[in-house]
Amino acid sequence: MLGEHGILLSTGGTGNKNAIPFHKELIYLEVNWVKGTKATKATKFGYKTWTGEPQSFSASHDGLFAMFLQSEDSGACFSHDSLFIVSLVNPEHSQIVHLFQAQKEGDCSPWNPRILSTLWSSQSSSTLYAIVDEKGAMSVWKITLSQNHGSMDWKGLCLPVVSNGCTSSIFPLTGPEGEERILVARSTFKRTGILEVATLGPDGQIHVQSITEHSVPSSSATHEEIIFQGAVTTVSAFVHKPGNFDPKKKYPLIVILHGGPNDAWRDCWPKVWNPLLWTDQGYMVITPNISGSTGYGLPFACSIYQNWGNATLKDVECLFSYMETCMPFVDLSRVVGAGYSFGGYMMNWIAGHAVSARFCALIVHAGVYSIRNLMGGDLPIIFKADFGCFPWEDAEQWEKWDPSRLCQHWKTPMMFSHGDVDYRVPITESLAAYNTCHIRGVPCQFLVFPNEGHTISRPENLAQFQKAMVDWAKQWMEGGRKIE
């Protein structure tokens, strides 16, 4: 990336890949473009002793500043990256931006959001935009920068620009003097491929104009958000209802748990786990953001660590309690559970506990059967943070959350699916779980995709996978299941 005073680039780093996965660094090369001199000085960006890798870097339009995101500790379980500003005239010092969220009363309060990406304004180096993961959305925020008088500290005042749905990309657009424009690409549960132009006038007013979108006019499904008391704190969930929903009727239910564990269900268009697949056939769907989900504060996201199967299992139990009290239109004798990656692990974990009796069947994609075997995946280093140790350091801590330890209790019919070239969770995990069910006489099915990895991406495979899921759910929902 070229700036007025030099070149900003990212390097692969020289760290030990077995200890610091995907390590990279930001380097700034000072160049005098006018004199045509070669770069003679390289400056590495980064904040003091912080070890997280800098990312999402860019230079301002005037070439005077650069910004990047960085976390404090590369070995931390999970963290929110902080925003940094660097003067390219004096690039040796990176300054953190203290963020504040504007309040309706005119006041502002300190804010520590999970920033996913950033973008400079095309008009001013004192304005930038950020995509923020918050409460089931990926929203766009405007950040106005200022420096405290007589201090090097930066302050960022944050105002929402586009709040609903999930923004995947933002791009700067040119406009009249004093008018800022950005192109926003986003989606929602029912709309995909939305392109909008957000215009911010000199009076501070925000106007959003739609350019194009691809909608689903044939679907009359609706969704809403519920809040219920979970294991430790309140838990948010999206409830998806079929078209022509009648609260006096009883509807079968699909509960889908997301992967991660640090991920979340958001108001977006999911390609693989789209709720419309189920609602358009008369099912209800609940997608809960259980413990470990992002966008609900750092403590909630970190509550999963060294606690993999505890709070998450209790959150599922609390969801059933909530449905019994507040959702009389759910047929609790016809509930199917589904999950992928960490959510798949949770299905295997649920199968060994009493709450499994609440489900007619379970659907497991790329789920973990034995925790120890995660060391055979492509990111073994990260699991020290997940469990607080490696298996040879404290075997008991790893075995504590191992689904295979409780497989003698498995009774619920289970469908397994896996990509044959999955290097995150090897396919042998699903094979072992399937063999366990088959030998023990538990109804089971195993679907293998030879040309897929950790997720399903090919359209023909996706169609087969979704049909198999629906067929499996229908098979075990027909007669319902007695709740013990």
pLDDT value at residue 82: 87
Cβ atoms of 352 and 346 within 8 Å: the answer is no
398 and 380 within one domain:
yes
The 10s digit of each residue's pLDDT in 76-127 is 667 788 898 888 777 777 788 999 988 776 678 899 999 999 998 887 888 8
DSSP for residue 139: E
341 catalytic per annotation: yes
Q: Is the pLDDT of residue 376 over 70?
A: yes
Phi, then psi, of 85 in degrees rounded to 5: -120, 140
18 in Cβ contact with 381 (< 8 Å):
yes
Q: Residue 473: which of 279, 312, 289, 319 has the closest Cα? A: 279
Is 226 among the domain residues?
yes
Phi, psi for 82 (deg, rounded to 5): -95, 155
Q: Among residues 81, 133, 315, 422, which one is catalytic?
A: 422
Q: What are the CA-CA distances from residue 2 to residues 60, 65, 170 (Å)?
A: 10, 12, 20
> Same domain, yes or no, for 211 and 317?
no
**Residue that is last in its domain, among 215, 245, 265:** 215
State whether 262 and 309 are in the same domain: yes
- Provide the pLDDT for residue 425: 95
| 163/233 same-domain check | no
Instruction: Choose between 11 and 414: higher pLDDT.
Output: 414
Pick from 100-114, 127-141, 258-272, 308-322: least confident: 100-114
Q: Is residue 482 part of a domain?
A: no
The partner residues of 449 in beta bridges, in order of sequence, read 419
Number of domains, the chain: 2
Tell me which residue has tokens 């009389």.
Answer: 328
Same domain, 244 and 169: no
Domain membership flag for residue 107: yes
- Tell which of 215, 232, 257 closes a domain: 215
DSSP state at residue 185: E
**Is residue 483 assigned to a domain?**
no
Co-location of 421 and 457 in the same domain: yes
In a domain, 356, yes or no: yes
Identify the sign of the CA torsion 364, 365, 370, 371.
Answer: negative
Q: Is 1 a domain residue?
A: no
In a domain, 187, yes or no: yes
DSSP for residue 39: P
454 noted as active-site residue: yes
Mean pLDDT (the chain, rounded): 87
Is residue 484 in some structural domain? no
Average pLDDT over residues 452-466: 95
Per-residue pLDDT, 217: 56
Same domain as 187, residue 282:
no
Split at pLDDT 50, 70, 90, the class of 436 is very high
Residue 35: the pLDDT is: 64
Q: Are 132 and 112 in contact (CB under 8 A)?
A: no
| pLDDT over 70, % of the chain | 87
pLDDT band per the 50, 70, 90 thresholds, residue 37 = low
pTM: 0.90
- What is the average pLDDT across 176-185? 85
70, pLDDT greater than 80: yes
Q: Which pLDDT value is given to residue 14?
A: 46
Q: Quick one: average pLDDT of 140-169?
A: 87
Query: Is residue 25 located within the same domain as residue 134?
Result: yes
Taking the C-alpha atoms of residue 379 and residue 424, their distance in angstroms, rounded to an integer, is 7
Q: Show Cβ contacts of residue 270 under 8 Å, excluding neighbours closer than 6 positions.
A: none
The residue among 164, 189, 215 that closes a domain is 215
205 pLDDT tier (thresholds 50, 70, 90) = confident
Give the model's confidence band at 40: pLDDT under 50 very low, under 70 low, under 90 confident, else very high: low
Q: Under 8 Å CB-to-CB from 32, ≥6 apart: which residues?
A: 5
Structure tokens that stand for 304 in this block: 């999963």
pLDDT at residue 310 tops 60: yes
Q: Are 428 and 373 in contact (CB under 8 A)?
A: yes
Give CA–CA dist 61/129, Å, rounded.
13
CATH number for the domain harbouring residue 305:
3.40.50.1820
pLDDT score recorded for residue 9: 74
121 counts as catalytic: no
Q: Would you say residue 241 has pLDDT above 50? A: yes
Residues 92 and 130 reside in one and the same domain = yes
Q: How far, in Å, are 107, 109, 134, 395, 483 from residue 104 at the CA level?
A: 7, 11, 19, 52, 48
For range 427-454, the mean pLDDT: 97
Residue 301 sits in the same domain as residue 448: yes
**Do 235 and 205 share a structural domain?**
no
Closest CA to 238 of 224, 228, 256: 224
3-state secondary structure 297-311: CHHHHHCCCCCCCCH
> Rounded to an integer, what distance in angstroms lies between the CA atom of residue 419 and that of residue 453?
5
Within this chain, do residues 443 and 296 fall inside the same structural domain, yes or no?
A: yes
Catalytic residue among 71, 341, 370, 417: 341
Question: Of 88, 37, 33, 42, nearest to 62 (Cα)?
Answer: 88
User: Residue 345 pLDDT more than 50?
Assistant: yes
Distance CA 140, CA 138 (A): 7
Give the C-alpha separation, 87 to 340, whole Å.
44
The predicted model gives 165-187 an average pLDDT of 87
Q: pLDDT at position 18, please?
A: 45
Q: Which domain holds residue 16?
A: 6-215
